[in-house]
Amino acid sequence: MSFETIVYEMKDGVAEIRLNRPHRLNAVTQQLYDELNAALGAAEADRDARVVLLTGEGRTFCVGADLKEHKAGRTAFDRRQYLQGEQRVCKRLLQLQRPVVAAVNGYALGAGAELAIASDFLLMAESAQIGLPEISLGNFLGGGVTALLPRLVGLAKARELVFLGERINGAEAVRIGLANRTFPDTGFLDAAREFARRVATKAPLSMQLAKEQLNFAAERTLDAVLAAELEGMTFVGTTKDWQEGVDAFAEKRAPVFKGE
Q: Does residue 188 share a domain with residue 60?
A: yes
Assess whether 9 carries a catalytic annotation. no
Q: Does residue 186 share a domain with residue 239?
A: no
Q: Does residue 64 share a domain with residue 45?
A: yes
Average pLDDT, the chain: 94
Least confident of 7-16, 58-67, 170-179, 188-197: 58-67
Q: Decide which of 164, 182, 200 is a domain's last residue.
A: 200
Per-residue confidence band for 72, with pLDDT thresholds at 50, 70 and 90: low
CA 237 – CA 9 distance, rounded (Å) = 33
Strand ranges for 166-256 from DSSP E:
168-169, 181-183
Q: Which domain holds residue 245?
A: 204-251
Instruction: Confirm if 83 and 139 have CB atoms less than 8 A apart.
Output: no
DSSP letter (8 states) at residue 28: B
Query: Given a cut of 90, is residue 77 above it in pLDDT?
Result: no
Q: For position 156, what pLDDT does the model report?
A: 97
Q: What is the DSSP string of 35-94?
A: HHHHHHHHHHH-TT--EEEEEESTT-SB-SB-HHHHTS---HHHHHHHHHHHHHHHHHHH
Q: For position 71, what pLDDT does the model report?
A: 64
Spot the catalytic one: 114, 166, 194, 244.
114
Query: Given a cut of 90, is residue 97 above it in pLDDT?
Result: yes
Q: For position 218, what pLDDT does the model report?
A: 87
Q: For position 252, what pLDDT does the model report?
A: 94
Q: Does residue 152 share a domain with residue 61?
A: yes
Instruction: Confirm if 83 and 114 have CB atoms less than 8 A apart.
Output: no
Q: For position 2, what pLDDT does the model report?
A: 83
Instruction: Confirm if 102 and 121 have CB atoms less than 8 A apart.
Output: yes
Query: Given a cut of 70, is residue 172 above it in pLDDT?
Result: yes
Per-residue confidence band for 84, with pLDDT thresholds at 50, 70 and 90: confident
Q: Does residue 211 share a domain with residue 136?
A: no
What is the pLDDT averaged over residues 124-148?
A: 95
Non-local (6+) Cβ contacts of 56 within 8 A are 18, 19, 22, 26, 62, 104, 105, 106, 112
Query: How many helices (H) and strands (E) in the chain?
Result: 11, 9
Q: Does residue 228 share a domain with residue 99?
A: no
In a domain, 258, yes or no: no
Q: Does residue 128 share a domain with residue 185?
A: yes
C-alpha dist (Å) from residue 77 to 34, 71, 158 = 16, 14, 31
In a domain, 91, yes or no: yes
Q: For position 82, what pLDDT does the model report?
A: 81
How many structural domains is the chain composed of? 2
In a domain, 172, yes or no: yes
Above pLDDT 70, what percent of the chain?
98
Q: For position 74, what pLDDT does the model report?
A: 74
Assess whether 260 carries a catalytic annotation. no
In a domain, 72, yes or no: yes
Q: Residue 114: how many CA atoms within 13 Å on its side-chain side?
A: 28
Q: Decide which of 166, 181, 200 is a domain's last residue.
A: 200
Q: Decide which of 165, 183, 200 is a domain's last residue.
A: 200
Above pLDDT 90, what percent of the chain?
88
In a domain, 259, yes or no: no
Question: CATH number for the domain including 141?
Answer: 3.90.226.10
Instruction: Confirm if 9 and 189 have CB atoms less than 8 A apart.
Output: no
Q: Which residues pair with 101 in a beta bridge?
A: 53, 121
Spot the catalytic one: 16, 35, 86, 134.
134
Q: Does residue 239 share a domain with residue 185?
A: no
Q: Does residue 216 share a domain with residue 184?
A: no
N-terminal to C-terminal alpha carbon distance within the chain = 26
Q: Does residue 234 share a domain with residue 192?
A: no
Query: Given a cut of 90, is residue 194 above it in pLDDT?
Result: yes
Q: Does residue 243 share a domain with residue 149?
A: no
DSSP letter (8 states) at residue 182: E
Q: Does residue 41 share a domain with residue 83?
A: yes
Query: Given a cut of 80, is residue 186 above it in pLDDT?
Result: yes
